Amino acid sequence: MVRDSVSLKTIVKAASEAERYGFGDLSDRLREAAEYYGGLLRADGEAEDKLPDYEEMVIACEEVQEKKLRENYAPTSYLLSLADFKASLAGGRPLLVREGRSVRLEATSDPQEVIRKTYGGWSRAVTLSATVSAELLGAMLGEGVTLLRAGWPYGDNLRAWLVKGLTTKFERRDERMVADIRWVLGLAAGRGERALVFLPSFDILYEAVRGVDVLHEDRGLSQESVDRDS
């Protein structure tokens, strides 16, 4: 599991940014870090953390952002991206990943810690997964997990439909998209079955269910209300 990642190109651009705005020493150390990571012969694996301190990069990027604003530039900062990545490392070592000519660093996380945080505080949870076994999940959580198998070869109680050409990209949101979503909603109803549909936003949801008699979640409902009404 990955908390954050940063490319080698970002480190190089951060070094150039630091040099341009008067942080020469910081720029030199960032270039040394980029040279170190780019020169590693291993395809992937843990590497030493050669990035400067988090506080130093934050102080530098704050000044860089102020100067960019005065120059009428967008206050984006490669140094800020690196500082965020450094925070995600949390004192650990980055994982070097090389894909062709592309090199990036990843801040990994403890899967058990993430799983426990995800499921913590819930009395019941339903998880759909084709990769994580119930035994592994139970071991990570330290409690029993009920496994419900669905579909072939265990029965015909769950089916999945692959719909080509349906997208909810912002630039493609139009009446055609709404009509396609309504068609998907009608698949189960036409067969006398039930379906669970997840949509990326309430705006799309409200457009899709307008004039359609379906049970849906409303914006702002508490988890208790969702559990009670579902």
Cα distance between residue 9 and residue 165, in whole Å: 34
Is the confidence at residue 66, as pLDDT, over 80? yes
Domain end residue (candidates: 99, 120, 148): 148
pLDDT at 16 over 50: yes
Q: Note whether residue 87 is domain-resident.
A: yes
Coil, helix or strand at residue 187: helix
| pLDDT (0 to 100) of residue 84 | 93
Same domain, 159 and 226: yes
Q: Is residue 194 part of a domain?
A: yes
Q: With 90 as the cut, is the pLDDT of residue 19 above it?
A: yes
**Does residue 26 sit in the same domain as residue 71?**
yes
Whether residue 203 lies inside any domain: the answer is yes
Is 135 inside a domain boundary? yes
Q: Which amino acid is at 209?
A: V
Q: Is residue 58 part of a domain?
A: yes
Q: What integer pLDDT is reported at residue 23 of this predicted model?
A: 95
Q: Are 99 and 41 in a shared domain?
A: yes
Same domain, 124 and 200: no
Render pLDDT for 21-39 as a digit per residue (tens, 0 to 9): 999 999 999 999 999 998 8
Chain-centroid distance of CA 15 in Å reads: 26
Number of domains in the chain: 3
Residue 34: predicted pLDDT: 93
Same domain, 44 and 71: yes
Residues 144 and 158 in one domain: no
| Residue ending a domain, choose from 100, 130, 148 | 148
Q: Which residues pair with 96 in a beta bridge?
A: 45, 105
> 11 or 160: whose pLDDT is higher?
11
**For residue 44, what is the enclosing H or E element?**
strand 44-46
Q: Do you find a cis peptide bond into 111, omega within 30 degrees of 0?
A: no
Nearest CA among 205, 164, 208 for reference residue 186: 208
Give me the CATH number covering residue 62.
1.10.275.40
Same domain assignment for residues 77 and 164: no
Whether residues 101 and 12 share a domain: the answer is yes
Question: Binning pLDDT at 50, 70 and 90, where does residue 10 land?
Answer: very high
Do 84 and 30 fall within a single domain? yes
Worst-scoring range by mean pLDDT, 2-6, 42-46, 115-119? 42-46
- In a domain? residue 1: no
**Residue 20 domain-assigned?**
yes
Quick check: 8 pLDDT over 80? Answer: yes
Per cent of the chain over pLDDT 70 is: 84
- Report the C-alpha gap between 93 and 82 in whole angstroms: 14
Residues 135 and 160 in one domain: no
164-221: pLDDT as tens digits: 777 887 777 888 888 888 887 777 667 777 777 778 788 888 888 887 777 777 777 6
User: What confidence score (pLDDT) does residue 154 get?
Assistant: 47
Residues 140 and 167 in one domain: no
Q: How far apart are CA 137 and CA 144, in angstroms?
A: 9
142-151: average pLDDT? 67
| Pair 89, 16 in one domain | yes
What band does 153 get if pLDDT is binned at 50, 70 and 90?
Answer: very low
Answer yes or no: is 86 within a domain: yes
Count CB neighbours of 65 within 10 A: 18
What pLDDT score does 229 carry? 59
Q: Report pLDDT digits (tens) over 83-135.
A: 999 998 888 889 888 877 788 899 887 777 778 887 887 877 777 776 677 77
| Other residues' Cβ atoms within 10 Å of the Cβ of residue 17 | 23
Instruction: Name the H helices within 156-199.
Output: 175-190
Tokens of 149: 């198998």
In angstroms, the first-to-last Cα distance of the chain is 31
Residue 93 lies in domain? 6-108
Please say which residue of 133, 148, 163 terminates a domain.
Answer: 148
Angle, nearest 10°, between helix axes 54-70 and 8-20? 60
Give the angle subtended at the CA of 12 by the CAs of 16 and 89, to the nearest 5°: 120
